Amino acid sequence: MMKSSNSGSSRVAANPFVHELTFTMAEKIQIGLMSVTLFPVRLLLVSSLMLIAWPFAFTASLGRSEFVLEPQSWWRRFIDLCLRVIMRAMWFCGGFHWIKVKGQRAPPSEAAILTMAPHSTYFDAIPVTLTMCSMVAKLESRSIPVWGTLISYIRPVFVFRSDPDSRRKTVEEIKRRACSGGEWPQIMIFPEGTCTNRSGVILFKAGAFIPGLPVQPVVLRYPNKLDTVTWTWHGPGALKILWLTLCQPHNPMEIEYLPVYTPSDEEKENPALFATNVRQIMAKALDLPLTDLSFDDRELILSQGPLGIYDYRSLREFHLLVRRLGLRAGTTDCVLEEQARRARKLQGDGLALEGFAQFLDLPVTDMLTQVHSLFQQCEGGQIDIRHYVIALSTVHRPSKLMETLKLAFKMYENEENSGVLREELAAILEIMLGVKEGELSGVFLELGGVDTAKITYDELHHFIEQHPFFVRDYLEFKNNPSKTCHERPPSSNGQSHHSKHD
C-alpha cells in the first residue's frame, strides 16, 4: 500500500548498526589467559594515567571562558604538552603501540574543520587526544568523572539536547569558531552522527558543511584481525569492548589526513551537496561502499521481533518526508490516538490532496504532495488516511509495532462488529512491514479455516505470541524471494521451519 521510488535490494548486505563477535577456540584461550595476566596490568596503568592527567586538565581549565579565546600563556602551553604525552602513554598502555599517521594535518587557518569517518568506537577519541582539537560533545559528557574534565579541557562545542534549538545553536557555534581565521583550535566532527561497524559510509549530517568553509577529510582504520573495538547499537557493550581490547596483544590503528577540500560556490549554497561530495571522497579512500542510511534510520533498520520490518525502503522515504515537514518532531502517542480517532470517523472514505492537507492542518506543498503520492491511490487520486496514520505510527515507534497494530485495529473495527477483514489486515501489514500484496491465507487457515471472515486484535495478538516467526512462516507476499505454493507460506529467508503441521 506504500510505494517507493528507491531501487535496489530491500536489505543492506551488512547492517551498519550491528556488530557480532565470534571467537575461535584459540582466541578464547588467548582472551582467557590475557584476562588474568595482561588485562589487570593494562587497566591499572590506563586508569592511573587518566588520574595523572586530571589535575593538569583541571588546572588549565580554571577561569577559562567557553566563548572567548584568551592568549595561550606559557604554563598552559606546558600543560598542553604534558597532557599530550600522558594521553599517548595511556593509549600505548592500552595496546595502541604504533599509530600509523598518513598525510599531513592542515593548520587551522587552512581548514578549521576536520571531518572524521567512519565513526565506529569510542577509541576514535585517539586522534582528538593526540592533537587536542575541539570536538562536538553532549553536555552530559562534562559530568563524567575524570574523563569529563579532559573533555572540557579541549573546549568542545557542547550540545544541549534538552534545548529544542540545540541543533541551530550548535551549528552557529561551529560557524563562529570556524570563521575565526585560525584563532580557535580545529574542530573534529564525525558527520555520520553515530557509530557503525565500518561496513560502509552512512549519510553525513550537514552541520560541518553549513559554514561553507574548506574542510580536511580524515579517515580512520582499525586493521586488526579480531575486531574488538567496534561499538554499535547492537553488539558488545562499552565495558566488554574495553575488556576485549585490553586483552589483545596489539591494537593497530591508522589515521589518514586527506587533502583539504575547498567547496565550490554551489556547494557553499548547498551544504547537503557539499557533504555528499566529501563523503564520496572519504569512501573512496577507505575503499568502502556508500550506504544510503543515516542516524535517523537506525530504529527502522534494527526493528526486531515477530513483526520486524521486512523492507524499509518505502518507510524510510516516508520518514524522511515527514521529518522535513516537521510532522515527526510533533508526533506523540496522544497525537497518534487523536489522528486514529479522526481517521476512524471517515470509515475509509478517500481523501484527495486538499483533504489530506486539511487533515494535517498544513498547506499544499510539493513535499506534502510527495507524501500523499506514496500511498496507494484509488479513483480520483484519493488515499485512505488510515494508511498514513499506520505509517506514521510505524516510523514513530518501530520497536513497538504491536502498539501500531492495535491502533490500526481500532481504526478498522466498528462498534457493531469487531475484527478486521482479511484484505484489511493485509493492507495494515503491508504498510507496517514494507511488503507488497500480502496474502494471509495461512493465518486464517490456522485460526479457524477457510470460512473465517474476520479476525480480532486479541486473536491475532495471541497467535503472534505463539509464533515468534510469524512473518516468515505465515505471511506470503510479492517481494518474498522464496514465494512458492505450499500448504503454508514458506520462510522469507529460504529456510524450512518444521512444525507440528509438517
In a domain, 188, yes or no: yes
Q: pLDDT tens digits for 353-377? A: 999 999 999 999 999 999 999 987 7
**Mean pLDDT computed over 296-320:** 84
Give pLDDT tens digits for 35-76: 999 999 999 999 999 999 999 999 988 877 777 776 677 888
497, part of any domain: no
* Residue 195 belongs to a domain: yes
Of the residues 292, 309, 330, the one at which a domain ends: 292
**CA gap 326, 331 in Å, rounded:** 9
Residue 40 pLDDT:
97
Which of the four pLDDT bands, split at 50, 70 and 90, describes residue 304?
confident
Q: What is residue 161's predicted lDDT score, i.e. its pLDDT?
A: 67
pLDDT value, residue 479: 58
Mark whether 442 and 459 lie in a shared domain.
Answer: yes
pLDDT tens-digit map of 452-473? 678 888 888 888 888 888 877 7
| CB contact set of 219 (below 8 Å; sequence gap of 6+) | 116, 117, 118, 255, 256, 258, 282, 285, 286
Pair 194, 284 in one domain? yes
Give the model's pLDDT for residue 191: 94
Are both 256 and 383 inside the same structural domain?
no
Q: What is the pLDDT of residue 336?
A: 93
Residues 242 and 305 in one domain: no
| From 162-166, 328-332, 383-387, the region with the lowest mean pLDDT | 162-166
Report the pLDDT value the prediction gives residue 402, as an integer from 0 to 100: 92
pLDDT for 467: 82
**Predicted local distance difference test score (pLDDT) of residue 389:** 94
Kindly state whether residues 282 and 326 are assigned to the same domain.
no
Closest alpha carbon to 404 in 489, 297, 309, 475: 309
**Residue 392: what pLDDT?**
94
Last residue of a domain, one of 292, 315, 339: 292
- Burial category of 250 from C-beta neighbours within 10 Å (exposed 0-12, middle 13-18, buried 19 and up): exposed
Mean pLDDT of 435-453: 71
Tell me the pLDDT tens digit for each residue of 23-36: 999 999 999 999 99
Looking at residue 481, its pLDDT comes to 46
- For the record, the C-alpha cell of 10 comes out as 530491500
Torsion of CA 105, 106, 112, 113, to 10 degrees: -40
Tell me which amino acid residue 145 is: P
Q: pLDDT band at 380, cuts 50/70/90?
A: confident
Concatenated DSSP letters of 272-292:
HHHHHHHHHHHHHHHT--B--
Q: Based on the fold, state whether residues 316 and 411 are members of the same structural domain.
A: yes
Lowest mean pLDDT among 100-104, 120-124, 326-330: 326-330
Check residue 70 and give its pLDDT. Answer: 67
Is 60 exceeded by the pLDDT of residue 168? yes
* Contact assessment for residue 111 and residue 216, using Cβ atoms and an 8 Å cutoff: yes
Cα separation, 426 vs 439, in Å, equals 6
pLDDT confidence bin for 309, thresholds 50/70/90: confident
Tell me, yes or no, whether 486 lies in a domain.
no
Q: Is 203 in contact with 196 (CB distance < 8 Å)?
A: no
Query: What is the model's pLDDT at position 494?
Result: 33
Whether residue 237 sits in one domain with residue 337: no
Has residue 18 been placed in a domain? no
> Is the per-residue pLDDT at 491 higher than 70?
no
- 3-class secondary structure, 485: coil
What is the reported pLDDT for 12?
45
Average pLDDT of every residue of the chain: 85
Residue 170 pLDDT grade (very low, low, confident, very high; cuts 50, 70, 90):
confident
In a domain, 334, yes or no: yes
Pairing status of strand 113-117 against strand 215-221: parallel
Contact 282, 216 (CB under 8 A): no
pLDDT at 120: 95
The 10s digit of each residue's pLDDT in 129-146 is 999 999 988 888 888 888
Q: How many domains does the chain have?
A: 2
- With contact defined as beta carbons under 8 Å apart, do 185 and 84 qualify? no
Q: Which tops the pLDDT comparison, 261 or 473?
A: 261
Is residue 249 domain-resident? yes
CA nearest neighbour of 83 among 104, 60, 108: 60
Strand partners, 375: 2
Q: Of all residues in the chain, what percent carry a pLDDT higher than 90?
A: 50
**Confidence check: pLDDT of 7 > 80:** no
Do 281 and 422 have their domain in common?
no
Same domain flag for 211 and 320 = no
Q: Which of 245, 265, 292 is the last residue of a domain?
A: 292
The CA–CA distances, whole Å, from 305 to 131, 259, 308, 433 equal 44, 45, 5, 12
Beta-bridge partners for 158: 137
User: Could you tell me which residues are beta bridge partners of residue 305?
Assistant: none
Confidence of residue 297 (pLDDT cuts 50, 70, 90): confident
Q: Do 370 and 257 sit in the same domain of this protein?
A: no
Domain that holds residue 328: 299-474
Residue 502 — pLDDT band, cuts 50, 70, 90? very low
Would you tell me the crossing angle of helices 385-396 and 401-412 to the nearest 10 degrees?
160
- pLDDT top residue among 61 and 380: 61
Mean pLDDT of 117-124: 95
The answer to whether residues 213 and 288 belong to one domain is yes
Query: Max alpha carbon distance in the chain (Å)?
Result: 87
> H or E stretch including 161?
none
- pLDDT greater at residue 273 or residue 477: 273
Residue 314: which pLDDT band, with cuts at 50, 70 and 90?
Answer: confident
Residues 425 and 322 in one domain: yes
The three three-digit cell numbers of residue 245, written as one number? 581490547
pLDDT band of residue 480 (cuts 50, 70, 90) is low
Q: Yes or no: say if 153 and 61 are a contact pair by the CB < 8 Å rule.
A: yes
Distance, in Å, from the CA atom of 274 to the CA atom of 282, rounded to the nearest integer, reads 13
Amino acid 499: pLDDT: 38
Determine the length of the chain: 502
Q: Is residue 490 part of a domain?
A: no
Beta bridge partners of 257: 218
Q: Does residue 225 have a pLDDT over 70?
A: yes
